[in-house]
């Protein structure tokens, strides 16, 4: 049986805010309003720091939904940012394709895990009910590193046209580092797949 929990926690609301900011950032980048985009990106980053801090320090604010929603918000934000920055010619197409492909596979895996851990009879109302917690996700260490590197590259790319260093060799080094950690992260989920999922037993 799944565990019934309150999904309306502060960290989950912060993650939803981050998801809401993603298309705003995408629009600002496409319109080449990089100064405002940097500010909105800083706000999105603050929500990421706060939701993790609150969930770690207040047990009542920690939830199984949050273990999936937080990385999902990161992936949505990162995907929209990379597509937008590629459109603005600030990040190469192959790197964005690599990141989006990995994230699509991970998101598909999350939906599959939700289905597999849902008790029978499986229904759409159960599947999409955030109050029913069936599994807790544990990101691998290299995945956390990869997210940090991806966000650093986004910040550096957003700042590049503002501070005029779009052709810097250091950005190109960051491209290579991001590609490496993205590949390593994808392999870590393939290798440690089962260990990253904790099925919740009902009380």
pLDDT digits (tens, 9 = 90+) for 95-150: 999 999 988 888 888 788 878 888 777 778 777 776 666 777 778 889 889 989 99
pLDDT digits (tens, 9 = 90+) for 145-175: 998 999 899 999 999 998 999 889 999 999 9
Establish whether the linkage from the previous residue to 121 is cis, with ω within 30° of 0: yes
Please state, as a whole number, how many other Cβ atoms lie within 10 Å of the Cβ of residue 63: 23
Tokens describing residue 26 = 């995408």
pLDDT digits (tens, 9 = 90+) for 132-142: 667 777 788 89
Distance CA 132, CA 199 (A): 12
Core vs surface per residue 111-133: b (16+ CB within 10 A) or e: eebbeebbeeeeeeebeeeeebb
Q: Looking at residue 203, what is its pLDDT?
A: 43
Distance CA 202, CA 185 (A): 31
Residue of higher predicted confidence among 53 and 60: 53
Helices (H), 58-168: 64-87, 93-117, 124-127, 141-163
Q: Looking at residue 125, what is its pLDDT?
A: 77
Q: Indicate the average pLDDT of the chain.
A: 85
């Amino acid at each position: 049986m799944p565990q019934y929990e309150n999904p309306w926690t502060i960290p989950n609301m912060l993650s939803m805010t981050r998801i809401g900011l993603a298309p705003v950032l995408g629009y600002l980048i496409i319109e080449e309003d990089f100064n405002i985009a940097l500010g909105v990106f800083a706000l999105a980053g603050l929500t990421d720091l706060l939701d993790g801090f609150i969930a770690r320090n207040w047990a009542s604010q920690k939830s199984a939904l949050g273990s999936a929603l937080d990385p999902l918000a990161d992936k949505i934000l990162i995907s929209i940012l990379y597509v937008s920055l590629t459109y603005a010619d600030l990040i190469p197409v192959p790197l964005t394709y690599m990141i989006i492909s990995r994230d699509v596979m991970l998101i598909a895996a999350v939906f599959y895990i939700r289905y597999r851990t849902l008790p029978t009879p499986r229904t759409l109302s159960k599947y999409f009910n955030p109050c029913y917690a069936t599994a807790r996700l544990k990101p691998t260490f290299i995945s956390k590193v990869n997210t940090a590197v991806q966000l650093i590259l986004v910040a550096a790319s957003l700042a590049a046209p503002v501070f005029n260093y779009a052709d810097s060799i250091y950005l190109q080094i960051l491209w290579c580092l991001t590609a490496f950690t993205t590949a390593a992260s994808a392999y870590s989920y393939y290798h440690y797949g089962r260990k990253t999922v904790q099925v919740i037993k009902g009380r």
